[in-house]
Amino acid sequence: MPSLGTSFGRGGATTFQQDLQNADCIVIMGSNMAENHPVGFQWVMEARERGAQVIHVDPRFTRTSAMATKHVPLRAGSDIAFLGGIANYILQNDLYFREYVEHYTNAPVIINDEFADTEDLDGLFSGWDPEEGEYSVESWMYDGMEIHGSAGQREQGFKPTKGEASGHGGHGGGLLHGEPPAEDRAMQHPRCVLQLLKRHYARYTPEFVAETCGCSVEDFVQVCETLVANSGRDRTSAFVYAVGWTQHTVGVQTIRSAAIIQQLLGNIGRPGGGIMALRGHASIQGSTDIPTLYNILPGYLPMPHTESYGDLDRYIEANTSPTGWWGHFRAYFVSLMKAYFGENANADNDFLFKSLPRIDDDNSAYWTVEQMLQGKVKGYIIAGENPAVGHANGKAHRLGLSRLEWLVVRDVVEIESASFWYDSPEVESGELEPEAIPTEIFFLPAATHTEKDGSFTNTQRLLQWHWQAVEPKEDCRSELWFYFHLGRLIKQKLADSEDERDKLIKALRWEYPTHSGIQEPDAEAVLQEISGQEIESGKFLSGYPELKDDGSTLCGCWIYSGCFKEGINQTARKKPHWEQDTYVADEWAWAWPDNRHLLYNRASADPDGKPWSERKRYVWWDAGEGKWTGLDSPDFEEDKPPSYVPPKDAKAEDAIAGDHPFVMQADGRSWLYVPQGLEDGPLPTHYEPHESPFGNRLYSQRANPRRQQNKDLAEDPYNPVADEPGADVYPYVVTTYRLTEHHTAGGMTRSVPYLAELQPQMFCEVHPDLARDVGLEHGGWATIYTSRSAIEARVMVTDRMRPVRMDGREVHQIGLPYHWGKRGLITGDSANDLAHMALDPNVHIQETKAFTCGIRPGRRPRGADLPRFVAELREQARSRLEASVAEPPMSGRTSRTPSAPGGRREEDPHVEPEEARKPAQ
Amino acid sequence: MSLSKLLESWPAVRQLREGDPLGLGRAVQSPRSRTLVPRIDEAEHVVQSVCPFCAVGCGQLVYVSDGAITHIEGDPASPISRGRLCPKGQASKSYADSPLREYKVKYRRPYGTSWEELSLGDAMEMIADRIIRTRADSWEWKTEDGNPANRTMAIGNLGGATLDNEENYLIKKLMTALGVVQVENQARI
C-alpha cells in the first residue's frame, strides 16, 4: 500500500475496526462495508448509535447507504475529483487543523523550484519523459535535497527503487539528507507544500465536483461541512475504503487523496480518526507483510533489481535512510538472510546477497500472464487463487494457462483455473480443444483453515492464530505441508549438484519439526523464525529494536518481530474482551508493529505531549514518570520527551524530534506531498478512467499518463473512449462488486449449498430508464459486451443504480457482481471476462471498478458465435474510428491516428504521452 | 388423567403458572423438545479459530466429535466480532465439508482428455522434477544488458491472500532460493 505507506510510513490501515465506534463522522467510500465486511460494520453502527454522522459516497445505493445518515451517489471513477474538492474546501476556507498541520505534516516544507504542477503543464507533472513514458522525479524533491538512491549511486550500479519497492514497499519514505528540510512554519512561502496544495486544488470547486462526479453541489458541500464540523481538537472523523478505491488506474492516488484530507483535518493517529483499509481476504494484509509478491522481501525490504548490481554495501546504502527507523535497514536485511540461510550466510560472503535473484521493473501477475501468452512461462503453481475467474480479462488468463508446459493447482474444490482445458468459454467456442492443449496439470486437494494451525493477519494488522480442529482427509494437505515437502524433495534431488545455480537452494535453511502421520510441519516453529531469535542463545526477540546487523540475530520478518516474544505465541492469546481493561483489548492476538493497534498514536497528543482534548485522549506524555503512556502501546520511543531536539548529525530514530509522530518517515512527519515513492505524481490529480465515456474536464491529458497498458497485446483490446468515434458501441460505465453471500472468484462459496441457494445466479443491476431505452426486462436476460468478451446475466431493474449527467448527456452505470464461473453448485458467466488489463503504475492493479461496455436484451451467442459477436462489435467500433481519421479533424487541437483494435489515443498536442507509452513492463 | 392434571397441561394455564406469560419458553415445550440438547453440548472438544473468508477476522469456535467437525459458530470472546458471523462465516462448516470438496490428487497428461488418478507421493516427485528441469532449462545468470539476474523467468507462483502467514513465509523463502521471482497473490488484484 504505497498510498498509506508514503503518506504515513507504514503500508497498513492506520486504525482498527473497534476504534470506529469513537468517530464523530465516518466517510465510507470505495466500500460497501455493510455487505462485504458485515461483522466489522457493527462498529460503524456503534458510532451511529452514539450520534456519529455516517456518509456513504458510492455509485450504487447499497445496504451501507441504507444504514448511513447520508448517501451521495457519484460517477464510478471520479473519486479523486470528489476528494480533491473536499481538500480544496478545507484549504480555501482555512478550515485545516493549524497546529497539527504545522507540526506533524510536511505542509511547511519548501519544494524544489524546478517542480511544476499538473495545473502548470496541462495534466502532467514536471519530469515527464515521453520517450520512456515515465517520470524522472528529481524535481519533486524537497528543496536542497537529493532523491534517495540516485545520482552517484546509479553510476555505482544502483537504480532508484520504484513503485511499491521505493520508500520500502511504500512503507516509509527515505530522504538522503543529514539536515532538517528547509521550511516556513508560517506556511506562506509560495513553494511550501501548503501553498502548492492550495494552488493544485484551486479548480476543484463544488461546481466542478458536481459536474465531474454527477452529484449535486448541495450534497457535496454538506459532506465537506459535516467532515469539518466533526474534526479538530474535540472531534475526529474516520475514512473507510476497500477495493472500490484500489481497483483503478489511479487507485493509489485515490487513497492518497483521503490521506491528504485526514492530515489537513488532523485525524491521523487519533481515536475515532484514521483511514481504515478494508481488505477482502483473511490474510491479504499478511501476504503483503510476508509477501507472496515479486517486488519485496518480508517486511517491505525491496527485492534486488537487475540494475542494482553492486555489492551488499551498495544495496544497504541505497535502502537505508539516515534518519528514522529505516536507519537500521542492514539489521533487518541481515537478520532475514540469517533466517533464510543460517550459517551459510555470513559477513565473509555478503550474507549471500550477490546470489539472490533479481527482478525487473514489473514482474507482477498480469505481466506473467502476458509472458504465458507468449510461451515464455513454462510452469505455474496456483495455491488458493482462481485467476480464470478472479483476474481481469479471464479469457487472457485461460489462454495463458493453456500454453504452459505444466501447471499445479491447489484448492479445496476443482476451480475454473484447473478445469479450463475441458470446461471453459473457450472450449465451448472451439478456441481451445483439449486434444491440442499441451499443459500437464496436477490438481492437489488443499486443507481448510480448520485442518491446520497458523496465523492470519486481518485488515487491522492483527495476527490471529487459528488452531487445527481435525486432521485433513486423504490427499488433502496444507500449503505448509506442500511447500515444505516440495522444498525438501528439491533439496534432496539437488544435494549432489555442483552447479553454481543450485548454490542458494542448497544453502537454504529448511529444517522444521513435523508431527502427526502425514508429517505436517510445525507452524509454530515457522512463526518462531518469523519473530526472530538471538542465534547463539536461542533467546526469542521481543521486537525489532533488538535486531543486530552483524549476523548474530535471525528474523524472518522484522515488522513481525516480537510476535513470539518470551517463547509465547502472542498471536494465539485469546483473553475474552470482557476480561480486558480497555476496548483496545491488547491481550487478544498481536498487532504489528509491537502490538500497536492505533498507529502514529503520538499524534493523539499535542506537540507538548498533552491530549488534544479530554474527549480524545489516547496516548500522552507522563512528565512525572518520564514516559509516554495511555490506552495503547505508544508508537514512539517510550522515554523520548516531547521537547527532544535531535543533535546535529543524529542518525536513525535519534534524528526524529519529540514532536514528530511519524517515526518511519525520514523527517518524522506525515506527507501531504510525496517527494519520492510514487510513479504518477507527488499529488493526486483527477484523470478519467482508462476507459470512460468522457474527456477530462481539467486537462487535455485525459487519463493517468503513467498507467500501464499494452497496446500490442491482441488478447487485451481496449474500447474507444470519450468522444472518439466508435465509443458509442460501448456507451455505458460498468462497475464490478461483491455480494455478502459470495467470496471473490467463488471457489470458496459457489461450492457451499446454503450460499449457492441464497445467491444462485449472475445478474446485472440497471436503472429503469436504461431498461426502458434498451428493452431490458426485470428477471429477463441481458448480454453485456466489451472489446474483450460478452457475458449474459439476469436483469435486475433498480433505481439503486443511478445514471449520471455530464457534459449535457446522461450516462448509465451498470453494476455486475463477479463471483460466477463455470464450476460449482451454481454457475454463470464471469464479469471479469469483460475487464481489461490496464493497470495502476504503482501497484500493477487492474481497473475493474470503472470501464465501459454495451448492453442488449437476450442471451449471449453460443459456441463459435460468441467470439464472432465480440469481434464484429470491435470491428464496428474500429471502422467508425478509421472513417473519422480519413476526414479532416474537427478541431485543430485534435490529432487523430488509428491505433490497435479498439484503438485509443489522447488529444494532447504537446506531449503525446499516450503514443510514447511503453508496453506494460 | 385427572381433571386437575388435564387443566394443568392446558398451555394457557402453563403459561401463567410457569412464569412464561408470552408462551415463548418452558410453557410451550413438548416432551420431545424438552429433551433436545444443542449439538455443541455433545462435542468432545472445541477449538478457537478465525473465519477464512474476508479480512475482518471474526473469531470462530469449531466443535469436534469423533474427529469430525460438528458445528462452527462465532466466538463471543473476540473483541472484533463479539460472537457474530456473516452468512459466509456461518456456512464455514459447509465449506469444509462441501459436496464438491476434492480429496484425491487428479492428473491430466499433456493433450489428455480426462483426469487420471495419481498418488500424492508420485505427484510431489513429478512436480519437484518439473521445477528442477524447467529451472535448469531457463536459468538466466545475466539480463540481455549484462546485469546480474540469477533467476528463472519460466516459473511462477500465484496465491497467498487466503493462506497463513507461515505458509506465505515458506513460499517466498523457497521460491527466492530457487531463483523464482514471479511470486504473486490476490493482493495484486
Chain B interface, best mutation among A43, A156, A306, A849, by max B CB count within 10 A: A306
3-state SS assignment for residue A217:
helix
Q: Are A66 and A73 in contact (CB under 8 A)?
A: no
C-alpha cell, A624: 512525572
Does B25 fall in a domain? Answer: yes
Q: Nearest CB to B186: which of A281, A463, A557?
A: A281
The upper half-sphere exposure of residue A536, i.e. CA atoms within 13 Å in the direction of its Cβ, equals 4
Q: Are B84 and A39 in contact (CB under 8 A)?
A: yes
Q: Which one, of A179, A272, A212, lies nearest residue A80 by Cα?
A: A212
Query: Is the pLDDT reported for residue A895 higher than 70?
Result: no
List CB contacts (< 8 A) between A344 and chain B.
none
Query: 109-168 in A: which are within 8 Å (CB) of B?
Result: none
List CB contacts (< 8 A) between B59 and chain A.
464, 574
Query: 369-408 in A: which are within 8 Å (CB) of B?
Result: 371, 376-385, 387, 390-392, 405-406, 408
Q: Nearest CB to B62: which of A390, A469, A577?
A: A469
Query: Is the pLDDT reported for residue A171 higher than 90?
Result: no
Q: Which one, of A231, A300, A303, A307, lies nearest residue A270 by Cα?
A: A231
B41 residue type, one letter: D
> Looking at chain A, which residue has its C-alpha nearest residue B98?
A752
Measured distance CA(A798)–CA(A792) in Å, rounded: 18
Measured distance CA(B16)–CA(B24) in Å, rounded: 12
List CB contacts (< 8 A) between B105 and chain A.
442-445, 475
Count of CB atoms situated within 10 Å of the CB of A582: 13
Q: Is A37's Cβ below 8 Å from some Cβ in B? A: yes
Measured distance CA(A592)–CA(A289) in Å, rounded: 10
Measured distance CA(B31)–CA(A690) in Å, rounded: 67
List CB contacts (< 8 A) between A285 and chain B.
55
Does B181 fall in a domain? Answer: yes
pLDDT at position B5 is: 81
Does B179 fall in a domain? Answer: yes
Does A505 fall in a domain? Answer: no
Q: Are A116 and A125 in contact (CB under 8 A)?
A: yes
Mean pLDDT of A669-682: 94
Q: Are A767 and A214 in contact (CB under 8 A)?
A: no
Query: Is the pLDDT reported for residue A679 higher than 80?
Result: yes
Query: 56-115 in A: which are within 8 Å (CB) of B?
Result: none
* CA-to-CA dists, residue A865 to A29, A271, A399, A872, angstroms: 40, 58, 18, 10
Q: Is the dihedral of CA A630, A633, A638, A641 positive or negative?
A: negative
pLDDT at position A532 is: 98
Measured distance CA(A235)–CA(A709) in Å, rounded: 43
Does B111 fall in a domain? Answer: no
pLDDT at position A827 is: 97
CATH number for the domain including A7?
A: 3.40.228.10
Q: Are A405 and B134 in contact (CB under 8 A)?
A: yes
Instruction: Flag if A530 and B169 touch (Cβ within 8 Å).
Output: yes
Q: Is A421's Cβ below 8 Å from some Cβ in B? A: yes
CATH number for the domain including A825?
A: 2.40.40.20
Question: Whole-model pTM?
Answer: 0.94
Measured distance CA(A815)–CA(B103) in Å, rounded: 37
Domain count, chain B: 3
Does B71 fall in a domain? Answer: yes
Instruction: Flag if A383 and B159 touch (Cβ within 8 Å).
Output: yes
List CB contacts (< 8 A) between B154 and chain A.
376-379
Q: Which one, of B172, B156, B151, B160, lies nearest residue A557 by Cα?
A: B172
Instruction: Flag if B164 and A462 touch (Cβ within 8 Å).
Output: no
C-alpha cell, A226: 459535516
Instruction: Flag if B166 and A38 touch (Cβ within 8 Å).
Output: no
pLDDT digits (tens, 9 = 90+) for B77-126: 999 999 999 999 999 999 999 999 999 999 999 999 999 999 999 999 99
Instruction: Note whether B47 and B77 are same-domain residues.
Output: yes
pLDDT digits (tens, 9 = 90+) for A173-223: 556 554 668 899 999 999 999 999 999 999 999 999 999 999 999 999 999
pLDDT digits (tens, 9 = 90+) for A452-463: 999 999 999 999
Does A809 fall in a domain? Answer: yes
Q: Residue A474: CB partners within 8 Å, gap ≥ 6?
A: A445, B103, B104
Query: Is the pLDDT reported for residue A912 higher than 60?
Result: no
Does B114 fall in a domain? Answer: no
A472 residue type, one letter: P
Q: Is the dihedral of CA A172, A178, A180, A182 positive or negative?
A: negative
Instruction: Flag if B109 and A440 touch (Cβ within 8 Å).
Output: yes
Measured distance CA(A3)–CA(A508) in Å, rounded: 34
Q: Cis bond leading into A593, ω under 30°?
A: yes
Q: Residue A212: CB partners within 8 Å, gap ≥ 6?
A: A75, A78, A81, A686, A697, A806
H or E stretch covering A537: none
Query: Is the pLDDT reported for residue A153 higher than 80?
Result: no
Instruction: Flag if B79 and A585 touch (Cβ within 8 Å).
Output: yes
Helices A217-229, A79-92: axis angle to 10 degrees equals 60
Higher pLDDT residue, A311 or A687?
A: A687
pLDDT at position B57 is: 98
Q: Nearest CB to B174: which of A406, A483, A825?
A: A483
Q: A277, A295, A320 — which closes off a domain?
A: A277
Chain B nearest C-alpha distance from A134 (Å): 20
Walk along chain B (189 residues) in steps of 10 and give the mean pLDDT of each run.
77 82 83 87 94 98 96 98 98 97 98 98 98 98 94 97 97 98 93
Q: A277, A293, A317 — which closes off a domain?
A: A277
pLDDT at position A148 is: 58
3-state SS assignment for residue B80:
coil
C-alpha cell, A495: 544435494
Does A899 fall in a domain? Answer: yes
List CB contacts (< 8 A) between B136 and chain A.
499, 501
Chain B nearest C-alpha distance from A176 (Å): 26
Instruction: Flag if B160 and A283 touch (Cβ within 8 Å).
Output: yes
Does A509 fall in a domain? Answer: no
Measured distance CA(A88)–CA(A441) in Å, rounded: 55
Q: Is A214 exposed, middle or buried (0-12, 13-18, 19+ CB in 10 A)?
A: buried
Range of the domain at B84: 39-96
Range of the domain at A807: 727-916
Domain count, chain A: 2
List CB contacts (< 8 A) between A42 and chain B.
82, 84
Instruction: Flag if B174 and A486 touch (Cβ within 8 Å).
Output: yes
Question: What is the percentage of chain B residues whose pLDDT exceeds 90?
Answer: 77
Average pLDDT across chain A, whole number: 92
DSSP letter (8 states) at residue B105: -
Q: A243, A277, A311 — which closes off a domain?
A: A277
Measured distance CA(A247)–CA(A30) in Å, rounded: 9
pLDDT digits (tens, 9 = 90+) for A296-347: 999 999 999 998 778 899 999 888 888 889 999 999 999 999 999 999 999 9
Q: What is the dihedral of CA A791, A756, A746, A17, to 10 degrees?
A: 120
Does A633 fall in a domain? Answer: no
pLDDT at position A185 is: 94
Measured distance CA(A892)–CA(A909) in Å, rounded: 9
List CB contacts (< 8 A) between A466 and chain B.
48-50, 60, 164
Does B8 fall in a domain? Answer: yes
Query: 27-86 in B: which are within 8 Å (CB) of A?
Result: 47-60, 62, 64, 67-69, 72, 76-82, 84-86
Query: Is the pLDDT reported for residue A169 higher than 50?
Result: no
Instruction: Note whether B151 and B172 are same-domain residues.
Output: yes
Q: Are A708 and B12 in contact (CB under 8 A)?
A: no
Q: Which one, of A179, A140, A137, A54, lies nearest residue A648 by Cα?
A: A179
Does A574 fall in a domain? Answer: no
Helices B165-178, A523-531: axis angle to 10 degrees equals 70
CATH number for the domain including B83?
A: 2.20.25.90
Does B104 fall in a domain? Answer: no
Instruction: Flag if B79 and A363 touch (Cβ within 8 Å).
Output: no
Instruction: Flag if B86 and A39 touch (Cβ within 8 Å).
Output: yes
Q: Is B116's Cβ below 8 Å from some Cβ in A? A: no
> Looking at chain B, which residue has its C-alpha nearest residue A356?
B150
Chain A interface, best mutation among B85, B86, B137, B165, by max A CB count within 10 A: B165
Q: Nearest CB to B188: which of A457, A557, A845?
A: A845
Instruction: Note whether B8 and B57 are same-domain residues.
Output: no
C-alpha cell, A887: 476526414
3-state SS assignment for residue A62:
coil
Q: Are A785 and A803 in contact (CB under 8 A)?
A: no
